[in-house]
């Protein structure tokens, strides 16, 4: 049979030497394999044709699950075939002549006056009429078969058109769908970051399919980014950014199939930085492996390396789009602002009260006068969610409860964050916590005057609405073992029990009555303490001191560090001093004095040095220089430790000398492959936002792990390669001169269990958000943009759009070789002219 020529079955009898019945059966068998496909003759009789291998027979062959399961070698064969075939021609394929081609998101080009009908998805659906079918995505399936899945689960994504659809339906390889169903699939694909593509071997007027595949799974898209040859995928469109509207939220960066969009900066520069676009083969005759980006699946950039981007997003461990939610708040669109925050941080009301404010530490506005009150604006936005009617429930990525059973052990910020994002993926999540209520240190460690417990419960309520189950008063390792949970069907575990033990002073008298460990003290909050001494200079010590002063005659905080070197935040120290706490800095404990087993005082020795030359805590004392402070209660808050109990008994998890679990720094997977860790049990004691960020990464790892065939790293964007702009190179222009807005203090709540800090008014929020300098903006590398339009689906600020910058259409399969030869000739001519000019 000749390629792509229709034959009547009756005419094939001459080629087979068989009768019509035998020939028809043979043809049908080969169609079922996928090597031939049916097409209808004008008279209604059956005709068949031999399609090209790719795109064509290759895809049709693997559509039959039973066959590919029986012959798993088909997966690497087909994956390698497409890549190896296109590598050979990647540098000489002219614009618009690849085997497949991106078709833009239709909404992104609806106002483009130069568009043509072939560039609209609706045109292809109209043309197909009732001949529309859908089949499982072969790319996703093949990737999973070779353990290269990227967390994007298999499903019915590949929309077949025309006679190809009819042939696939007849062979049982696809099912007929309506146009409305096709539009819903396309809509879902866009939400999940899939690129729309057409087959490009029949000229302008026919396509076998509308493919909906992500950059990290699609065989065709892979060659495009692998060889840095956008011509292998490009539409006629290119994305452009309006920097004035852009807030560097990063949504476009996450979905760009070529990594053509990155976060840059938009402030004026004293010395303008030159940014280099990617080198591509358009004007190069020789463009080979040395130019390729083979590690793209594990090494994408988030930021324009030459400039960096906004400091607030960079320095936040969760990389929340601060500019984004400030802009929405400035517009009064508070629900949209909340959605932006909760994309990366599901607990904004909690963080609005206890956040470490990494973002404000580096806020560019702080180099002029005072940082933008980012945390206060976040608190204002999150306050709306405390009302049950306004709570934000995220859209589920996959159907609610359709995934695997996963156990989260520990209900602190890391565990709750992991549970939230696992639920978004549709998994059946159970949180086990040994305490009566979930929340970890947020519930039992942070005092109510800093974080009122109804705030914690309100945000936990959202998880319950999402289907997360909570089992409290369950000590895993004691009440139930990991093996028992495995028997109950749990496929993966996220261990985030926090660091809830307290380090010892290692001094005489430490076991006396009246000595409390810091975490226990915060949990129990005993009364009638008399004179209190708190040992420590960190935030936990400050919390202990502020709790103590509410129940004591006096409270003194003792620290090794000098006053200006305290590790606790300056704001919290000031609040403690305002409460009446006194400080005695530069001293360390030498001995606890007792009488009849009860604390009577403490002997302190002068601290000469806290840290050694490399910054490690290694205090040096003057043992002869001492003072005595009489007291009735001592609270030790010099650090926390992890109490594993029997949780890890029988597992292969390795615990390091400092008590943390050994795990992969990117995926958080331990030596026991179904156990992942996060939060303080991996990093040691840190802040809530650090744990929240780790929880989201843990959810990504677990989602991939429990879906077999999916890699923990391929197609996963690293979150540690953000960097912020060069502040020394900024040329500040005009900016709003309002001072930083301050919340009012409610003096009626002074030294009570209620938070005395007020909330910004709406007018203050308007003023404060106007102080943001808007440091960051996305940038498009137009050399490698393929004009798919996915970026526009993620932008909520109208900052990125497509324009029709090209006017090229694909040749037919039969004309492809001449088109390639013509391109070779063009490049050869340019190369010779360039050489002659140099000579």
* pLDDT tens column, 722-747: 999 999 999 988 889 999 999 999 98
Sheet containing strand 598-611, edge to edge, reads: 587-595, 598-611, 617-630
**DSSP character string of 479-522:** TB-HHHHHHTT--EEEE-----EE-----BTTTSBTEEEHHHHH
Of how many residues is the chain composed?
839
Give the N- to C-terminal CA distance of the chain in Å, as an integer: 53
Confidence of residue 682 (pLDDT cuts 50, 70, 90): very high
- Per the CB < 8 A criterion, the answer to whether 310 and 263 are in contact is yes
Give me the phi and psi of 227, to 5 degrees please. Answer: -95, 5
User: What does the block give as tokens for 137?
Assistant: 């995505």
Strand boundaries in 631-755, DSSP class E: 633-636, 640-641, 675-677
CA pair distance 133, 157, nearest whole angstrom: 10
Report the relative pairing of strands 100-102 and 37-40 from DSSP bridges. Answer: unpaired
Overall average pLDDT of the 576-588 stretch: 96
Residue spans of alpha helices (H) in 552-673 = 570-579
Confidence of residue 824 (pLDDT cuts 50, 70, 90): confident
pLDDT tens-place string over residues 551-570: 999 999 999 999 999 999 89
DSSP classification of residue 810 = P
Report the relative pairing of strands 492-495 and 405-409 from DSSP bridges. Answer: parallel
CA pair distance 689, 606, nearest whole angstrom: 35
Residue spans of alpha helices (H) in 554-671 = 570-579
Residue 423 pLDDT greater than 90, yes or no = yes
pLDDT tens-place string over residues 528-552: 999 999 999 999 999 999 999 999 9
258-275 CB burial, b ≥16 within 10 A, e <16: bbbbbbbbbbeeeeeeee
pLDDT score for 43: 81
pLDDT score for 255: 95
Give me the phi and psi of 549, to 5 degrees please. Answer: -65, -20
Residue 832 pLDDT greater than 70, yes or no = no
Domains and CATH numbers, the chain: 7-223 (no CATH), 393-500+642-706 (3.50.50.60), 502-641 (3.50.50.60)
Overall average pLDDT of the 358-370 stretch: 95
Q: CA-based diameter of the chain, in Å?
A: 112
Among 680, 640, 687, residue whose Cα is nearest residue 351: 687
Enter the pTM of the model.
Answer: 0.94
Residue with tokens 């010590």: 541
Residue 834 pLDDT greater than 80, yes or no = no
Residue 833 pLDDT greater than 70, yes or no = no
- Average pLDDT of the chain is 93
- Lowest average pLDDT, out of 129-143, 145-159, 384-398, 495-509, goes to 384-398
CA pair distance 572, 94, nearest whole angstrom: 63
* SS3 labels along 52-121: CHHHHHHHHHHCCHHHHHHCCCHHHHHHHHHHHHHHHHCCCCCCCCCCEEECCCHHHHCCCCCCCHHHCH
Residue with tokens 């939610």: 325
- Per the CB < 8 A criterion, the answer to whether 692 and 413 are in contact is yes
- Per the CB < 8 A criterion, the answer to whether 722 and 313 are in contact is yes
Instruction: Give how far the C-alpha of residue 755 lies from the chain's centroid of Cα atoms, to the nearest Å.
Output: 33
Residue 242 pLDDT greater than 90, yes or no = yes
CA pair distance 771, 735, nearest whole angstrom: 7
CA pair distance 543, 279, nearest whole angstrom: 55
Residue spans of alpha helices (H) in 478-597 = 482-487, 518-524, 539-549, 570-579
Confidence of residue 285 (pLDDT cuts 50, 70, 90): low
pLDDT score for 719: 84
Among 37, 32, 43, 54, residue whose Cα is nearest residue 1: 37
């Amino acid at each position: 049979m000749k390629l792509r020529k229709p034959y009547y079955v009756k005419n094939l009898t001459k080629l087979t030497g068989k009768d019509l019945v035998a020939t028809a059966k043979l043809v049908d068998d080969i169609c079922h394999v996928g090597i031939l496909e049916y097409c209808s003759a004008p008279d209604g009789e059956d005709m068949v044709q031999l399609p090209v291998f790719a795109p064509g027979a290759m895809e049709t062959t693997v559509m039959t699950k039973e066959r590919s399961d029986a012959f798993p070698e088909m997966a690497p064969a087909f994956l390698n075939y497409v890549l190896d075939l296109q590598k050979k021609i990647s540098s000489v394929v002219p614009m618009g002549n690849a085997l497949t081609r991106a078709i833009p998101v239709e909404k992104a080009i609806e106002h483009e006056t130069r568009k043509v009908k072939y560039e609209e998805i609706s045109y292809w659906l109209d043309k197909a009429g009732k001949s529309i079918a859908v089949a499982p995505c072969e790319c996703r399936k093949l990737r999973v078969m070779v353990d290269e899945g990227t967390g994007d689960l298999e499903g019915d994504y590949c929309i077949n058109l025309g006679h190809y659809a009819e042939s696939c339906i007849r062979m049982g390889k696809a099912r007929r769908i309506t146009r409305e169903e096709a539009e819903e699939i396309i809509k879902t694909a866009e939400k999940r970051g899939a690129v729309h593509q057409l087959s490009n071997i029949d000229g302008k007027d026919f396509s076998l399919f509308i493919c909906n595949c992500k950059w990290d799974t699609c065989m065709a898209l892979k060659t495009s980014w692998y060889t840095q040859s956008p011509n292998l995928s490009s539409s006629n469109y290119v994305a452009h950014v309006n920097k004035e509207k852009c807030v560097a939220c990063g949504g476009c960066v996450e979905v760009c199939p070529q990594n053509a969009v990155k976060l840059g900066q938009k402030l004026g520069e004293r010395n303008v930085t030159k940014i280099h676009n990617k080198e591509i083969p358009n004007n190069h005759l020789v463009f080979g492996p040395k130019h390729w980006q083979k590690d793209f699946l594990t090494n994408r950039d988030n930021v324009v390396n030459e400039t960096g981007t906004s400091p607030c997003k960079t320095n936040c461990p969760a990389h929340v789009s601060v500019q984004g939610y400030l802009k929405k708040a400035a517009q009064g669109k508070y629900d949209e602002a909340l959605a932006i925050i909760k994309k990366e941080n599901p607990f904004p009301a909690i963080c609005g009260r206890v956040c470490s404010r990494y973002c404000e530490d580096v806020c560019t506005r702080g180099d002029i006068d005072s940082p933008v009150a980012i945390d206060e604006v976040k608190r204002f936005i999150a306050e709306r969610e405390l009302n049950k009617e306004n709570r934000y429930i995220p859209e589920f990525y996959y159907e609610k409860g359709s995934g695997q059973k996963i156990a989260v052990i520990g209900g602190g910020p890391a565990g709750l964050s992991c549970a939230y994002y696992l639920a978004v993926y549709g998994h059946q999540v159970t949180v086990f916590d040994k305490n009566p209520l979930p929340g970890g240190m947020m519930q039992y460690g942070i005092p109510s005057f800093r974080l009122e417990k109804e705030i914690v419960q309100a945000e936990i309520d959202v998880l319950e609405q999402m289907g997360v189950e909570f089992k409290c008063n369950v000590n895993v390792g004691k009440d139930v073992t990991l093996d028992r949970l495995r028997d109950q069907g749990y496929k993966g575990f996220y261990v985030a029990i926090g660091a809830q033990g307290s380090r010892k002073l290692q001094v005489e008298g430490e076991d006396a009555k009246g000595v409390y460990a810091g975490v226990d003290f915060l949990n129990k909050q005993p009364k009638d303490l008399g004179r209190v001494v708190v040992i420590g200079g960190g935030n936990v010590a400050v919390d202990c001191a502020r709790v103590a002063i509410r129940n004591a005659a006096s409270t003194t905080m003792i620290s090794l560090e000098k006053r200006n070197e305290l590790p606790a935040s300056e704001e919290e120290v000031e609040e403690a001093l305002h409460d009446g706490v006194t400080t005695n800095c530069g001293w360390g404990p030498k001995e606890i004095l007792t009488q009849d087993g009860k604390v009577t005082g403490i002997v302190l020795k002068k601290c000469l040095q806290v840290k050694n030359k490399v910054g490690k805590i290694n205090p040096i004392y003057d043992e002869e220089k001492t003072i005595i402070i009489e007291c009735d209660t001592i609270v030790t808050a010099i650090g926390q430790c992890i109490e594993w109990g029997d949780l890890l008994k029988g597992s292969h998890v390795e615990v390091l000398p400092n008590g943390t679990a050994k795990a992969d720094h990117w995926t958080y997977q331990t030596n026991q492959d179904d156990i992942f860790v996060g939060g303080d049990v991996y990093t040691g004691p840190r802040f809530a936002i650090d744990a929240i960020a780790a929880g989201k990464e843990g959810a990504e790892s677990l989602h991939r792990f429990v879906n077999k065939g999916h890699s923990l790293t391929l197609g996963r964007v690293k979150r540690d390669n953000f960097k912020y702009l060069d502040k020394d190179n900024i040329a500040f222009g005009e900016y709003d001169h309002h001072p930083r807005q301050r919340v009012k203090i409610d003096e009626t709540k002074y030294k009570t269990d209620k938070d005395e800090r007020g909330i910004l008014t709406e007018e203050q929020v308007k003023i404060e958000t106007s102080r943001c300098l808007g440091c960051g903006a996305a940038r498009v590398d137009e050399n490698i943009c393929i004009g798919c339009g996915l970026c526009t689906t993620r932008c909520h600020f109208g900052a990125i759009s497509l324009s029709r910058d090209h006017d090229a259409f694909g040749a037919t399969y039969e004309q492809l070789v001449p088109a390639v030869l013509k391109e070779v000739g063009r490049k050869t001519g340019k190369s010779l002219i360039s050489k002659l000019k140099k000579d």
